[in-house]
Chain A
Amino acid sequence: MGIWKKSVLAAGFVALMCGSALSQDKPFEGVQLKMLGIGDTSVTRLAKITSEFEEQTGAKVQIDMLPYPGLIDKIIIEASSDKPTYQLLWVDSPWVGMLGEAGALQDLTEYAKRDAAEIGLDDIIPVQLQENSWQGQLLAFPASGMIWHVNYRQDLFDDAGEKEAFKAKYSYDLAPPATWQQFHDIAEFFTRKKGDKLAGKVLEQDFYGNAESYSRVQGAITHDYFPIMRGFGGDYWDPATGLCAMTGEPHVKAAEFMKSLVPFNPPDYLGLMWDIQSGYMERGETALSGYWSVRTVRLTNPEEAKLPTLGKAGFSGGPTEDGKPQPTYTGSLSFAINAKVSDQEKEAAWAFIKWGTGEKIMRRLADEGWGISQFRKSILADPALQEKYPYYKVLLDTQTNARRRIFHPFYADVEENFGVELSKYMAGETATAQEALGNACTAVNSRLSMFPLEQRLRWINDAPVTVLQK
């Protein structure tokens, strides 16, 4: 971005702040907002500039950033308390059903309708709003839109020697994987030992063809398994019974596929969860790694990843079994308002959400290089930004052909049971994928089957979010 453009932007900012200060004397003076948040890109970017929000509105914002494991515990305890401490809650979209059914979150539909123009409701990819809904109510507002997709070493894919060797071995051109078979081939192809050559250079340490999450911790393995399972054409529930249906052919295939990748993964694969897994990609130690885009944004920032200094990251959508795109799972990292706080605090919290998720801030962070996994069409479609962040196109394309991920009130049972059972299967403790998936489904269904069919069907029914209904 040129200096000219930057200064215009800055001038605009100053004008806006002065304007608001003059016209309205800080509407939330004296209000104290506390957010129970997470320490990842969906919050850290914003946390650095919350003082600007205070200057504009008078509301003080304090963000407590906790690691993902354990955060939901705090939120549930906060939600079950009668005297709330936090007005703002960071919400991972799978929690929406559980928190929604518990009545913990404020319905944002009216706010969003009222301020539709200001928040650019039409600019948000619709599935991102759907992702944050429960029984049609908008319970959280996206701060980061996520999809599961493939990150790969563009520089290695472009290497002539590697391309030639790949073609010789697999009889087709080396390219971002469109099918799981290709994904497997690429992972296998790039798995090298210390002393082997990679793109002409002798390796000083082992190089891994692939890095996926296999850890059971916080259900980490399911965060990769479920999108892969979706890529094989599977889904979570049986629409007729509202019970776990993840024992079918696509589910077994997906589990077997993940297990077939183990030889190409680091030796500590059972300990890999999102941050460790993406660390391999960020340090340039693996050729291929599929994970959620909230961490993808680090791959282009040399302050957050080594990869930009020693190679180049490439990005593509998740593969499918036959190469034809399947609707992928989306995810959303969102901000929600505690249902138990006062109306004034709700307004102030909503003002913060509008500010923190608005196009202006999003664009500014993107301009400054601190990318966020975006959910706004205007930003993702911006050619200049697409140039700067090649994954924007992937995000835009996949989010438009997406299905929301799990949102069931019993999501934790699903995640935890599948986490443990799949991890055991990958470790060889359980003989077959069928058995592992069966165990996990049985555990989930043992709890669900106590509820009437009608209720189970309501829990899996994804009612269209009313805020988008004209």
Chain B
Amino acid sequence: MASVSLTNVVKAFGAFKVVHGVDLDIADGEFVVLLGPSGCGKTTTLRMVAGLEDVNGGEIRIAGEVINDRAPKDRKIAMVFQNYALYPHMTVRQNMEFALKPQRLSKAEVDAKIAGVAAMLGLDVLLHRKPAQLSGGQRQRVAMGRAMVRTPEVFLFDEPLSNLDAKLRTQVRMEIAKLHKQLGTTVIYVTHDQVEAMTLADKIVIMKDGHIEQIGSPEEVFARPKNLFVATFIGSPSMNLFRMTAERGDTGTVLSSPAFSLLLPVELGAKLKPGQAVTLGVRPSDVRLAQAGDADAIEARVEVVEYLGVEALVDLRIGTQEFIAQIPASERPALDQAVKVVFNPAGLHLFDSESGQAL
């Protein structure tokens, strides 16, 4: 088991830079998820750690040793690929045996390892089958098993669940979480799915256009997004954004827009200068219907109501401003009705409109 650290790691294909100086420290045994939209450089970063791509700048360390120029096989890593990368003509057992072949173990050792992993993953009955005879989920488990038999110090997962259907994805996701708890091995996991990231990660690394936008625990990136990109990327439905201007009011700092005005709590108001252009972020779950006696209720029109069972999503409009409220299904209003809503004061996020950075 090992720590991994990236220092100012750069990757370029010709003149085209895809990873711009990434810094990242991964502690031993940590489960780190690289999250971002496609093309953000997360997979390239992972492949550099794996040694499948050359590093054009900076250093990568595993267990403290710089491994930039080491062959993949000498990095004590194992990788699980998006398309499983199983050898199609080999049985499950042969796939695992082939992965172990370079280690030159005795037959007994090989058998023991395979038996152990197969038991852990429930592959016992599939050992004699070929990949074409397996379901998607089974193949994914075999791919993991093949990685596990090598007992690496770091596991690398490259979008391992993206080829599975939704139900299976949840199931395998839980298995991965369980395995990590069991094995305690360091994991670097690439995905574009925030649910996977939130559920699996000890630490989420959010990337965009080859830059790291934020590193933090799932709670941190959800509760305290460092910028507008993270704020909108994490959370579903996305955070509502309102473009506002700060004004000095009688009782404190007021945000105003043509649609509505909002008195800020004191600690937030203190961060603003009068006349400053800010973007107010409110997660749909922090929007609720106003009750009698609520001050600062905002009136909005109901455009769409999406019933989800426990909850409902309500699309609201004030003039040209649209936003979403996530409320208990029992409270959902009727269409085209005018409703009053209030924002949870603790759920207000302020971003500088110009830089997009959190204030």
> Do A and B interact directly, with beta carbons closer than 8 Å?
no
